């Protein structure tokens, strides 16, 4: 159980300082050309252990679904924040991510008294917090949040696929794959596409620019 204990180190440190409801925060969807950015906040029970809860990027879709069932069963609280593409275009992806994270924290019941946030940026909320670079691989609470956020976003993109099958969101989840970029050139953009990206010569999206779409 060494790996599990290491993943719980940030939570134990916070409890040692007197905090009891410690929420891990993570997001999914910063890089796609379409769809929302989603954040999740998860409070796990004290000393909770599950070696299979890890960074969502290291898990298969089936594994993420399985872990989500366990997290929903065992968590003290789960909160979700969703920011759609129109808001992303208006405020930029970083600010949209922070808004989604704040919404996820406010969605928790019971509320958190301490936050472990993946990345470099804290959120503007009156709750003590700590940022952790690579937190989804270092904190079990953040890892749980990464799974909840990823599965939640994938489900939304599957819903959008039914509305806009020509872009194959079921497969690309809104990311700038060659097939997706070709579909944009052929069909133009739909209402869930973001316009606040530019595309590099390799076809990869770059933040803080403009994606020129038909």
Q: CB neighbours of 59 closer than 8 A, spacing ≥ 6?
A: 67, 147
Same domain, 138 and 172: no
DSSP string, 126-192: SS-EEEETTGGGT-HHHHHHHHHHHHHHHHHHHHHHHH-GGG-HHHHTT---HHHHHHHHHH---TT
Cα→Cα distances 202→122, 182, 211, Å: 32, 13, 13
The whole model's pTM is what?
A: 0.90
pLDDT in tens, 156-206: 999 999 999 999 999 999 999 999 999 999 999 999 999 986 554 334 444
Q: How far apart are CA 44 and CA 25, in angstroms?
A: 12
Round to whole Å and give the CA distance between 88 and 77. Answer: 27
118 φ, ψ to 5°?
Answer: -70, 135
* Pair 25, 43: CB distance under 8 Å: no
Q: Quick one: 148 and 60 in the same domain?
A: yes
Query: Based on the domain organization, do 10 and 29 belong to the same domain?
Result: yes
List the beta bridge partners of residue 210: none
pLDDT digits (tens, 9 = 90+) for 75-112: 999 999 999 999 999 999 999 999 999 999 999 999 99
Tell me: do 46 and 148 sit in the same domain.
yes
Alpha-carbon distance values, 155 to 28, 38, 124, 169 (Å): 12, 11, 28, 10
Q: Quick one: 115 exposed, middle or buried, by C-beta within 10 A (0-12, 13-18, 19+)?
A: buried
In a domain? residue 213: no
pLDDT of residue 131 exceeding 80: yes
Q: Does residue 137 lie within any of the structural domains?
A: yes
Q: Does one domain contain both 9 and 110?
A: yes
Is 214 a member of any domain? no
For residue 210, the model assigns a pLDDT of 42
Tally the domains of the chain: 2
The domain in which residue 97 lies consists of: 2-159
Same domain? 186 vs 142: no
Are 122 and 181 in the same domain?
no
pLDDT tens digit sequence for 38-63: 999 999 999 999 999 999 999 999 99
Are both 109 and 188 inside the same structural domain?
no
- Please indicate, yes or no, whether residues 113 and 47 belong to a single structural domain of this protein: yes
């Amino acid at each position: 159980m060494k790996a599990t204990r290491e993943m719980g180190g940030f939570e134990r440190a916070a409890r040692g300082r007197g905090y009891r409801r410690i929420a891990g925060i993570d997001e999914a969807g910063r890089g796609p050309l379409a769809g929302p950015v989603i954040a999740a906040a998860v409070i796990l029970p004290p000393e909770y252990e599950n070696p299979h809860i890890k960074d969502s990027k290291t898990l298969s879709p089936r594994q993420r679904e399985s872990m989500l069932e366990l997290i929903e069963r065992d968590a003290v609280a789960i909160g979700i924040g969703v920011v759609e593409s129109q808001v992303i275009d208006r405020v930029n992806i970083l600010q949209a991510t922070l808004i989604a994270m704040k919404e996820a924290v406010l969605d928790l019941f019971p509320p958190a008294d301490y936050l472990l946030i993946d990345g470099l940026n804290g959120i503007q909320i009156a709750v003590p917090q700590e940022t952790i670079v690579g937190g989804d691989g270092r904190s079990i609470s953040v890892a749980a949040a990464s799974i909840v956020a990823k599965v939640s976003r994938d489900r939304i993109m599957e819903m959008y696929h039914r509305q806009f099958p020509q872009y194959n969101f079921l497969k690309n989840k809104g990311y700038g794959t060659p097939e997706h970029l070709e579909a944009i050139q052929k069909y133009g953009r739909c209402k869930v596409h973001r316009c606040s990206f530019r595309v590099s010569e390799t076809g990869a999206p770059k933040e803080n620019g403009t994606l020129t779409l038909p």
